[in-house]
Amino acid sequence: MENSEKVETCHTEDGTSCRKSHHPERVKKDLTTRLNRIEGQIRGIKGMIDKDVYCDDVITQISATQSALNSVAKILLEGHLKGCVVDRLSEGDVEVLDELLVTFQKLMKK
C-alpha cells in the first residue's frame, strides 16, 4: 500500500463498524486480473471432473490454483503490513498485532 492509501472506519446502519482499505487502482486491477484467472482455473477443474480426467492431472491443476491464490494473499498481506498495520501502530493501536497473528495463523493452516 502506498502512503495515499488509508484505512477508513465506517459505521453500518446497525451501529457496527466496518473497515475499508483503499488500494491503488493498479493493485486493484492486478488483483482482479489474478482472481479472474483463478476463477477460470476453477471452472477448468470442474470441467476436468465432468470429463473424468485422470486424477493426478486434476490435482496438478488444483495445486496451480492454490499457488495462484497464495500469490493474491501475499500481495494483500504486503499491502496490509505496509499500510494498515503501520498506520494503526503509529496511532497507538497495538491490538492490530493480535489481529495480525490471527491472520498469520489462518494463512499457515493451508
Q: Are the CB atoms for 22 and 87 separated by under 8 Å?
A: no
The pLDDT, as a whole number, for residue 109 is 86
Q: Enumerate the H helices of the chain as residue ranges.
A: 25-50, 55-79, 86-90, 95-108
Closest by CA to 1, choosing from 30, 27, 31, is 27
The pLDDT, as a whole number, for residue 50 is 98
The pLDDT, as a whole number, for residue 91 is 94
The pLDDT, as a whole number, for residue 89 is 95
Q: Are the CB atoms for 1 and 21 separated by under 8 Å?
A: yes
Q: What is the pTM of this model?
A: 0.77
Helices 25-50 and 55-79, interaxial angle, to 10°? Answer: 160
Mean pLDDT per 10-residue section of the chain, whose length is 110 residues: 45 57 88 98 98 98 97 94 92 95 89
Question: 24-108: what fold?
Answer: Methane Monooxygenase Hydroxylase; Chain G, domain 1 (1.20.58)
Rounded Cα distance between 83 and 47, Å, is 39
